[in-house]
Structure 1
Amino acid sequence: MVYIADTHQPDERDCPFCHATEYPDEQSLIVHRGSSAYVLLNLYPYNNGHLLVCPYRHISTYDEANAEEVAEIGELTQIAMRVLTGAMGCHGFNIGMNQGQIAGAGIAAHLHQHIVPRWAADANFFPIIAKTKSLPQLLGDVRDRLASAWPEP
């Protein structure tokens, strides 16, 4: 309910994406750190392995990203797709950015791209009847699996 009810948009002082990099990767669910962007698991996933690619800089929209950030966000997205396919056997992806709170960005103040792995049979009756999404793996376990599958630079 905190996630749904909180309408505050963080600045650099209280932004979870800015502060995630200050903690150990396992604690922050960071899968990989690049030079201008990093990859972490979504704390509120739509599906198992739901990743976010974030620039380190606290910027809110894609048009504020510099050329280096745009290139690395794209490269990390490609690698993440390969890692998710190899480590989790997904069949497809939903990839996108919600730009602005009105467009559905939960944290509109810090740019992030969603990479949601999909499987042929990943929908079940839970979301309809129980208003619950079933995720059969713990976030920490998924983070460890994807981090160990991430290729060395």
Structure 2
Amino acid sequence: MLERLWAPWRSRYVSEIHATVSEEGEGTLFERILASEASDEETGILWRGETCFAVLNAYPYGSGHLMVAPNRAVADLADLTDAESDELWAAVRAAVAAIQEAYDPEGVNVGLNLGAAGGAGVPDHLHVHCLPRWRGDTNFMTTVAEARVLPEPLAESWSKLRNAWEAR
């Protein structure tokens, strides 16, 4: 069994994300991203609305993986205001359209994990994952090597998605 897959280029990729948004400080990860003084390109923010925003996933399942979240920390769908809920789902629709425009995928996954037991990595701030999919895009690398192979850097994903979002 293969235990390690060396990908030294990933260290720069991961360190840039950590340098942009402090691990310390008040609020959830998403609140810290919103409060960051870094540019949207540096934080991966693709769109800002009145009550919600869209951001690239810093540890994507594949290129083009983004998340839509409310601006405030809300752990459960029932805790969203009507305005937040309306904007969240409208933004998810816009995210899927941007993904389709930028990547022309064969399909799109849309989902959220509520609570730690539900698989949420940030259980105190719900977020909807949106990612492009193609037949055969899951392969032995994830299954056997427990690694993902991403064909483009985050900066390129951000540019493609931001341009597609703005062109809508």
Q: TM-score, normalised by structure 2?
A: 0.79
Matches within 5 A, 1:73-152: 73-151=88-166
Alpha-carbon shift at residue 121 of structure 1 (Å): 2.6
2:78 pairs with 36, 44, 63, which one? 63
CA RMSD of aligned residues (A): 1.7
Instruction: Name the structure where helix makes up a greater proportion of residues.
Output: 2
Whether contact under 8 Å (2:110, 2:131) holds in the other structure is yes
Alpha-carbon shift at residue 32 of structure 1 (Å): 0.7
**Structure 1 residues without counterparts, runs of 5 or longer:** 1-9
In 2: Cα distance, 1:93 partner to 1:85 partner: 8
Match of 1:47 in 2: 62
- Report SS of the residue matched to 1:44: coil
Match of 1:37 in 2: 52
> Which protein is bigger by CA-based radius of gyration?
2
In 1: Cα distance, 2:108 partner to 2:132 partner: 5
Deviation per residue, 1:6-55 (Å, 9 max, x gap): xxxx9x81421001112311111011111110000111111211111010
In 2: Cα distance, 1:152 partner to 1:89 partner: 15
Alpha-carbon shift at residue 152 of structure 1 (Å): 5.8
Q: TM-score, normalised by structure 1?
A: 0.87
Q: In the alignment, is residue 20 of structure 1 matched against residue 33 of structure 2?
A: yes
**Structure 2 residues without counterparts, runs of 5 or longer:** 1-22
Alpha-carbon shift at residue 127 of structure 1 (Å): 1.3
* Residues 126-135 or 47-56, more deviating: 126-135
Match of 1:7 in 2: none
Equivalent residue letter for 2:155: G
Equivalent residue letter for 2:163: S
Alpha-carbon shift at residue 143 of structure 1 (Å): 0.7
Equivalent residue letter for 2:126: L
